Amino acid sequence: MPRLSIVIPAYNEVRTVEELLRRVREAELPAGLERQIVVVDDGSTDGTSELLERLRTPGMELIRHEENRGKGAALRSGFARADGDILLVQDADLEYHPRDYPALLAPILDGEADVVFGSRFHGGPQRVLFFWHYVGNRALTLLSNLLSDLNLSDMETCYKVMRREAIAGLELSSNRFGIEPELTAKLAKRKLRIFEVPISYYGRTYEEGKKIGWRDGVAAAWAIVRYNLFP
């Protein structure tokens, strides 16, 4: 029976992770698809670690980093533990909703795609927030497209869904948010069938816990150049 591994990096998300896990467990999946949940606690210091231990259930893998190493490092640990035929990245906040799983999985299960990106810019419901974040996301996606020869609308999206074969043997090195352009660049080099589907997006303010900042945008731009132009 096909198996979906949902990989969740979590760092200081004590306010959101319980509700997120409830949504992940209750999310509708296509018939016959099993669910594995892999949570990577990336050195949390706000009580997330203790909460995750209490929320642990059969079918949920819990990995603990002793210190914060970044989203990229957390995803590498999660991918190594995941045993599904399909891997799906899910952030531990509530910006991305698991109700979008059926749409994200459909192109892969229909045999049409190897990788699916969930696009925040293709018409799904959106919380209206920061103009300059929007501009930054579009600029990074444009730079990524110029160098990868893809026509994505949202390279920086959390929702990346991949057949296991698509990332088998892929060497990833980014520790922080550079993992998004690194994954995109290295998947593009494999000449895979990449799809985009519309998703909903409920962005957070910084007061609500958003972590990414302008320095991460600069680092992402360098990561785009590095991983597209160099081996």
Is 211's pLDDT higher than 90? Answer: no
- Record the tokens describing residue 166, joined without a space: 């698509």
Question: 93: closest CA among 76, 125, 71?
Answer: 71
Q: What is the pLDDT of residue 123?
A: 74
- List, for residues 2-44, the tens digit of each pLDDT value: 899 999 999 999 999 999 999 999 999 998 899 999 999 999 9
Tell me which of 133 and 50 has the higher pLDDT.
50
Is 147's pLDDT higher than 60? Answer: yes
Q: What is the pLDDT of residue 131?
A: 79
- How confident is the model over 157-179, as a mean pLDDT? 94
- Record the tokens describing residue 116, joined without a space: 């699916």
DSSP structural state of residue 100: G
The domain spans of the chain are 3-129+157-176+193-205
Is 210's pLDDT higher than 70? Answer: no
- How confident is the model over 116-135, as a mean pLDDT? 79
Q: What is the pLDDT of residue 177?
A: 83
Are 105 and 168 spatial neighbours (Cβ–Cβ below 8 Å)? Answer: no
Q: Domain 3-129+157-176+193-205 is classified in which CATH homologous superfamily? A: Spore Coat Polysaccharide Biosynthesis Protein SpsA; Chain A (3.90.550.10)
Q: How far is CA 5 from the centre of its chain?
A: 12
* H helix intervals, the chain: 17-26, 48-55, 71-81, 101-109, 131-148, 164-167, 179-189, 214-229
Is 216's pLDDT higher than 80? Answer: no
Q: How far is CA 122 from the centre of its chain?
A: 17
Please state, in angstroms and rounded to a whole number, the distance separating the CA atoms of residues 140 and 153: 10
- How confident is the model over 154-159, as a mean pLDDT? 95
- Record the tokens describing residue 111, joined without a space: 């045999």
